[in-house]
Structure 1
Amino acid sequence: MHPALRALSTSLLSACLLFTATLPLQAAPKTTPTAASAARPPGTAIASAHALATDAGLEIIRAGGNAFDAAVAVSAALAVVEPISSGIGGGGFFLLHDAKSGKDIFVDARETAPASATPAAFLDEKGELNRDRATNGPWSAGIPGLPAALVHVAKKYGRLPLKTSLQPAIRIAREGFEIYPRLERGYGSRRQVMERYRGTREVFLADGTPPTAGEILKQPDLARTLELLAEKGFDGFYRGEVASKLLAAVKEEGGQWRADELTGYRVKEREPLRFQYRDWAITTAPPPSSGGVAIAEMLQMLSGWDLTKLDAAQRTHLIAEAMRRAFRDRTIYLGDPDFVKMPLARLTSSDYAAGLRATIHPSKATPSDLLPGQPAPLEDDETTHFSIIDANGNRVSVTQTVNLLYGSGMVVPGTGVLLNNEMDDFALRPGTPNAFGVMGFAANAPEPGKRMLSSMTPSFIESRDKIAVVGAPGGSRIITEVLLGILGYDWGLDAQGVAALPRIHHQWMPDVISAEKGALDAETVAALEAMGHKVNAGENPWGNLQTVSWDKRSNTLEAGTDPRNPVGKAAVVESAPVR
């Protein structure tokens, strides 16, 4: 990061942390524009992690589509150009706001566990977690959900045929795109695993050499799979030609999927989680996301202090302690709501937050001593997010993923479909950390058809005069990225300023405050360490936050893309309402 930007980012974080939270959690009221506010945005704003994906969304808007059609186009395009982060062999969460009805919808397209994926299947002969099986190859893959989500969103909320909205992604897959350094580095780090599989070698070693930045990557098999999805909808992926190849490849590599597990996959529409923070009505992801509950808990706990009157070390200490407690509850209580009864009313109540707050010592760290104190693994390249507002006021916040870099590493021959490795997000062995350093217990144990717990937290925030869409990738760090993004908007930052904020993170276990280089100065670090915190203050940048906002008083749109990601693109297009 350029020194000037680092200094600016540090000052922005300081401003972001100087907030006062005083309102109890409650049902968020519907916010209506004031007489001086515009009824509709002046156009469309899109922010995504790749310019080609943003352009795909704009292409569909110009063809007469709405934000939901654009979301299908952006999602599919990211599945083509970001195989390191997402794909139609993975899943995601779509948070939608329909301006005409005023309704918010959460579309859960999380992957599901096949019946073969019992906890015992992931243990070695000593009863320890078999990390290779949990993260590589067919056993690590859940039944994909993203193709079903594209079909569902297009059919139920879009204006254009799925065939139209998928055309940009099909074209990019067929004609190719320029490999960028992150893809090259990610392949290098996963090369040994990826080159185990015939289908992966056919895609990424088509010219006999590994992907190199500047080369053109063409994926004709993926283009064909997307064409079948466009023509036949759900059956184009979950039945017929593609499904047969998926089942055969998983079997060939030693895994066990059944045809009925593909045909039986369904997205779930769930009620979003809503709460009030200061002047903002926040709409966010419910379980099987853990993010919304955690963010609500953290803001509730912090409402007991006027943080503006504290020095940087004390502010950071209290925020870290709130993070610590929210992540503890994430580990113990949260899972798939179709399988697990969770005490959500208690976890999001002001009384419960007050009890947690009482356990926070104002100047001493609370030890998290149940895990070794190694730093949490960095998750800057996994998962992707995009945000959209259209000229009718429809809005979309989508986070999608294949989990780790290049997912399972296994491409199914003849399809171009890179399978996820989301099974590692289950508590495969209770009390054993997964690849992101977070643990789980019975609530997140695998069962047939169950959805693994996620940190993906697509969110909307709305005040009297402003609406913003925000979300991020980053494994367990998604939650704290979104938390800081909400605080950034609360303190008046524009969309690009929110995307650029430096980051801090604590996730209960391992017991460490992680901070990007420059986010905390030496004096603050020393004071935190004197309180008993372990601080990693020089970590490489992480995350890839994408956000858009609409100022209703000035009737202007803004879009912000994370400066840590050089191929991202935020775009604002002025236009007449689309319908």
Structure 2
Amino acid sequence: MRLPRLFLALLYSSLVVLSISACSSATDTGAGDAGKAPWEAGAMATAANPHAVDAAMKMLRAGGHAVDAAVAAHAVLGLVEPQSSGLGGGAFMLVYQRDPGSLVFHDGRELAPAGATPGMFMDDGEVMGFMEAWQSGRAIGVPGVVALYEDTHRKYGKLPWATVLQPAITLAREGFEVSPRMAGFLPRIAELGRLDENPGAAQYFYPQGKALQPGHLLKNPQYAETLSRIAEEGSSAFYSGAIARAIVEQARAEPNPGTLSLQDIANYRTREREVLCEPFRKLRVCAPVAPSSAAAQIMMLSYYDQFTQQDMDPEQQLAAFVDAQRLAYADRDHYFGDPDFVTVPLQQLLSPAYLRQRASERFAPDAIPVHGEPEAAGTDVTLIWGKDSTGEVPGTSHLSIVDSEGNAVSMTATVEAPFGSGRWAAGFLLNNQMTDFAREYRADEPAQANAVAPGKRPRSSMSPLMVFDEGGELLMVTGSPGGNSIPAYVFKSLVGILDWNMTPQEAADYPNVIARGETVRVEVSAAAGQEIADMLKSLGYKVEERKGENSGLHIILVEGGQLSGAADSRREGKVGALPPLDP
């Protein structure tokens, strides 16, 4: 059987184990700006919808910072791709400043209301079903995206605040053609939830009781008005006043009303958090800390490197790729949560001693992966968490941007499930992010790291990442939507480009292989997917064949002084590029 180039690539002979590096809220990528040549690679943006890329490119052509372009692009995504993210949700933004060579993780994740309790999704001792929880007022957390827009623009933006929001305002007023992807969701969501019944949402997505069709010119004057107020008044227009009251009204409506209050909304703040920059061979991979799951990809790279060697046959290489995921996912699921509430032992989980020991615990193909014990490797950690029961549904989008000065943004944004909670306020949908917490709660059992608590951020699989070369220059910007599969999708992009010599587009389009728990999901609808599934079955893995996956990898690679990009063909996006600025 002739196998794809991915599995024929030879690997480096050196075995490198990652070591933890010091980090702060403004992390040095490893080289600073000393000796750097002027940036001559131009600019690039890639996102899941052409309208969003057009907005980003407009900002970049005007000399805007990557953050200007990111805010403009995401404000448009919230309009044209409401099934994935929007003003009523949250986001993570990783921002790179080429001068002085710093990285900051801006956490715009949603917050649990003050009235939230660990058992809020329990009913007479039983866990509320996901469908019921998803469509409830209890599922709505305080949105963080608008605060993230303002905080990052204030710190990095070069263009006027109103300017970056104008493309979305104009598009909302003039209308856009409904995309096949959005239209395709609507009949299915009507069968599962209440989007076609909820006030505002029903009239917008199902006019005259019928789902919007592809090509329909859709206008959203409410969205335009909301963004216009934010453009004029700042984020206070969103976190107080009429918009905040509309959010609370929807969150407290039946069925299963939540406790979200005006005070909860007014109290929202983003956080600046640390970034981990760790070696992978001669490169440095930089990932946000929890509540993001991006550090899991650093763990995966270490295990993959330990499992691989030169002259491996394709089956061995594929097994290394799968087993690295199984080990890292088990630890991610058990230990990761909001670091403001729980101790997330990243230093211990990424220590050389633990990574070596954990790699030696490689699971047999038919075994059920379990989390490791860092203290058994001699690291200083004693944490007792209950078994994780978190479920996470894909309703997310990612964008990657590099501006004409070499600054970059990797941003992943979400409303959690498709169309969030299905509840509508002021022209946008509200998230169901509270279901990203562990819904099961037993008072007589140890708490889970991702248990619900007032003011807590739920753990997220969102993993915006950047990679830097041995000289400290930006090499790669990547990230993806996809719920619990995000770590696997992003890991594929890293290994595909950094080790399998793929182009960004080849890496994005390659079959997705997700190895979380005892089952390995394989995207057999993609070319070579069936070969991969059959190979894994022959090795003894329990394989679930999937006809489609929800990845949305948007990647930028800097190589030889030039930019190349990818827009995942599973979505509807594109790549936009600008030549270098004239000296």
TM-score (norm 1): 0.88
Residues 519 and 537, structure 1, Cα contact 8 Å, conserved in 2: no
Quote the Cα distance in structure 2 between the aligned partners of 1:430 and 1:120. 5
Q: Could you list the runs of 5+ residues in structure 2 that have no partner in the other structure?
A: 22-27, 372-389
1:172-571 mapped onto 2 (5 Å cutoff): 172-191=171-190, 192-253=193-254, 254-290=257-293, 292-360=294-362, 364-368=365-369, 382-412=395-425, 415-430=426-441, 442-464=448-470, 467-491=475-499, 492-508=501-517, 510-517=518-525, 525-526=533-534, 528-551=536-559, 554-565=560-571, 567-571=572-576
1:146-161 mapped onto 2 (5 Å cutoff): 146-161=145-160
Deviation at 1:112, TM superposition (A): 0.6
| Cα distance change, pair 13–458 in 1 and its aligned pair in 2 (3 A) | same
Quote the Cα distance in structure 1 between the aligned partners of 2:296 and 2:142. 26
Deviation at 1:34, TM superposition (A): 11
3-state DSSP class of the match of 2:4? helix
Quote the Cα distance in structure 1 between the aligned partners of 2:582 and 2:495. 30
Quote the Cα distance in structure 1 between the aligned partners of 2:180 and 2:212. 9
1:5-154 mapped onto 2 (5 Å cutoff): 11-15=4-8, 22-26=15-19, 27=21, 30-31=30-31, 38-154=37-153
Quote the Cα distance in structure 1 between the aligned partners of 2:121 and 2:391. 21
Quote the Cα distance in structure 1 between the aligned partners of 2:486 and 2:131. 25
Deviation at 1:98, TM superposition (A): 1.1
Quote the Cα distance in structure 2 between the aligned partners of 1:408 and 1:279. 44
Moved over 6 A (4+): 32-35, 376-379
Residues 335 and 344, structure 2, Cα contact 8 Å, conserved in 1: yes
Quote the Cα distance in structure 2 between the aligned partners of 1:241 and 1:577. 46
Residues 485 and 514, structure 2, Cα contact 8 Å, conserved in 1: yes
3-state DSSP class of the match of 2:516? coil
Query: Which one-letter code corresponds to 1:332 in the other structure?
Result: H
Residues 389 and 549, structure 1, Cα contact 8 Å, conserved in 2: no
Query: Which one-letter code corresponds to 1:420 in the other structure?
Result: N
3-state DSSP class of the match of 2:200? helix
Query: Which one-letter code corresponds to 1:169 in the other structure?
Result: A
TM-score (norm 2): 0.88
| Cα distance change, pair 393–369 in 1 and its aligned pair in 2 (3 A) | closer
Quote the Cα distance in structure 2 between the aligned partners of 1:33 and 1:22. 30
Quote the Cα distance in structure 2 between the aligned partners of 1:383 and 1:23. 33
Quote the Cα distance in structure 2 between the aligned partners of 1:33 and 1:242. 43
| Cα distance change, pair 42–563 in 1 and its aligned pair in 2 (3 A) | same
Deviation at 1:383, TM superposition (A): 0.6
Deviation at 1:351, TM superposition (A): 1.1
Residues 190 and 409, structure 1, Cα contact 8 Å, conserved in 2: no
Residues 31 and 101, structure 2, Cα contact 8 Å, conserved in 1: no
Deviation at 1:575, TM superposition (A): 4.1
Aligned-residue sequence identity (percent) comes to: 33
Deviation at 1:15, TM superposition (A): 4.8
Residues 282 and 459, structure 1, Cα contact 8 Å, conserved in 2: yes
Deviation at 1:446, TM superposition (A): 0.7
Quote the Cα distance in structure 1 between the aligned partners of 2:327 and 2:264. 37
1:248-269 Cα shifts (integer Å, max 9, x gaps): 2323333321111101100000
| Cα distance change, pair 364–442 in 1 and its aligned pair in 2 (3 A) | closer
| Cα distance change, pair 176–29 in 1 and its aligned pair in 2 (3 A) | closer
3-state DSSP class of the match of 2:142? coil
Q: Could you list the runs of 5+ residues in structure 1 that have no partner in the other structure?
A: 1-6, 371-375, 432-439
Considering only aligned residues, what root-mean-square deviation do their CA atoms show, in Å? 2.7
Residues 68 and 396, structure 1, Cα contact 8 Å, conserved in 2: yes
Residues 410 and 479, structure 2, Cα contact 8 Å, conserved in 1: yes
Quote the Cα distance in structure 2 between the aligned partners of 1:478 and 1:189. 23
Residues 61 and 578, structure 2, Cα contact 8 Å, conserved in 1: no
Residues 523 and 529, structure 2, Cα contact 8 Å, conserved in 1: no
3-state DSSP class of the match of 1:444? coil
